[in-house]
Structure 1
């Protein structure tokens, strides 16, 4: 009786010393080869047709489950990655190769600002009063464009009230406008100036200082020249106020001489019209010599086709009776 009970126990319950991890995996593999229903007991990962990793993992689990059961104990690779032919790990964000083109998914760098895009087309846009920050940017752009190509023209688009605001309040020193003017005079490039909107005070000087024959104005733009304004004196002593007033008069004389030079008008004429704000539309600015052409599509052809007043009279059958 003891022997009969001892034999089954010896064969069905092996001791822990004679059992190892390799024998357990061998027994499971042997059992799975005999029993075909063993495959259903292996946990199957969800199959996602859009996920290549899970699809590959599911196909391996279905075809050869022992590949998933016999995993290396100490492996340097992440789990289940060695079943691929050439496994590749995603790089860290700092190592990801950035896209060449701009898109919302993988930007190469922040998109450039608008002045930089215009600068690429050799366009300098002055759209604010001539405060120090604007002057610094404009002069830097002019120097950069000359360094890039000293033979290609530079296009300056102007919509500025100069060193004052539209209500006449001074926002910057007159030297800001003179700084841009001097930088333009030092360039080797042709400078095409275009007035869009307003060109007031020193902005009008910049407009007139373009290359002769390359100064343009939009049909409904306005130009205006005026005397420089005395900055707010505040609690300044009387002697300092006099010094500032003398400096403003000096800047006025300089502005008059430069405008007379570029408009080809006498200094006395410019000084006379500058006693009060002198507004000019595109036609009057062309007559005064501030610009050379008005940028109106087809205007030259229209004006060339217009008949003289005498021809209009002859066509209408009007005869001059007396010599009025």
Structure 2
């Protein structure tokens, strides 16, 4: 009887150790993008993404709290994430605080259904000219061709992931900063879910059936 108890205890301890090892391993696959998006933060994030992808194909989580930053650095990070997603590695991006400007674009790189935000987080999108460091299209006249290309790329990313028509994205961000709290960002299509918010109830069968014709 003692041998059985000792064996069960050993198995229980081993099981607990396995759970703790898995939790620690999962935490090691978290990346934190905090502060401005620039060449240093983008490079560090991209290098870490590649390290984790080479280590295993298990999911990766990126936490973001950023007011934005450099356009090309942000697009480089966006593309690096999309490459992993395209190769079958699930990448979750969680807004913890804010994802403004280029931060909102990086957010769109997450796997389908994996753009998340904490309840008191905020997302902001605006005219791409401002992300390039210029205050208006007029001030960027000498860079007009490149500006138009960047505008097109960023607008397309936002439209494709939000499901909003391209013209609406342009209208909402024209010469203004468009701020959304977590719930409004979800309704707008910039995130998929608010963490801690209960899932919507599944409709009853009767609710799904069309009403009968009344003579």
Query: Under TM normalisation by the shorter chain, which class is it?
Result: 0.7 to 0.9
Residue 285 of structure 1 and its aligned partner are, at CA, apart by 0.5
**Number of residues of Structure 1 aligned to a counterpart in Structure 2:** 170
| Deviations 1:121-174 (CA, angstroms, capped at 9, x unpaired) | 201110011111001101001111100002x111010101111xxxxxxxx3x1
Mark the runs of 5 or more structure 1 residues left unpaired by the alignment.
1-116, 164-171, 234-239, 305-324
The match for 2:73 is 176
Residue aligning to 1:268: 167
- Corresponding residue for residue 36 of structure 2: 129
After TM superposition, list the pairs within 5 Å mapping 1:63-74 onto structure 2.
none
Q: Deviations over 1:169-203 (max 9, x none)?
A: xxx3x111110011011113101010011101121
The equivalent of 1:219 in structure 2 is 119
* 2:133 aligns with one of 231, 235, 243: 231
State the structure with more CA Rg.
1
- Aligned partners of 1:119, 1:252: CA distance in 2, in Å? 37
Offset, 1:232 = 6.3
| Alpha-carbon distance in 1 for matches of 2:166, 2:100 | 19
Higher strand share: 2
* Structure 2 residue 191 is the aligned partner of structure 1 residue 284: no
Q: Distance in 1 between matches of 2:53 and 2:151?
A: 30
Larger RCO (CA within 8 A; separation ≥ 6)? 2
> Gaps (5+ residues) in structure 2?
1-23, 202-215
TM-score by length of 2: 0.72
Structure 2 residue 141 is matched with structure 1 residue 242: yes
- The alignment status of 1:153 with 2:51, answered yes or no, reads no
Q: Which has the higher helix share?
A: 2
Shift of 1:118: 9.5
User: 2:123–2:179: 8 Å Cα contact kept in structure 1?
Assistant: yes
SS of equivalent residue, structure 1 residue 280: strand
Distance in 2 (alpha carbons) for counterparts of 1:127 and 1:160:
6
Determine helix, strand or coil for the equivalent of 2:103: helix
Offset at residue 252 of structure 1 (A): 1.5
Question: Within 2, Cα distance between the matches of 1:291 and 1:222?
Answer: 11
> Which residue number in structure 2 is paired with residue 293 of structure 1?
193
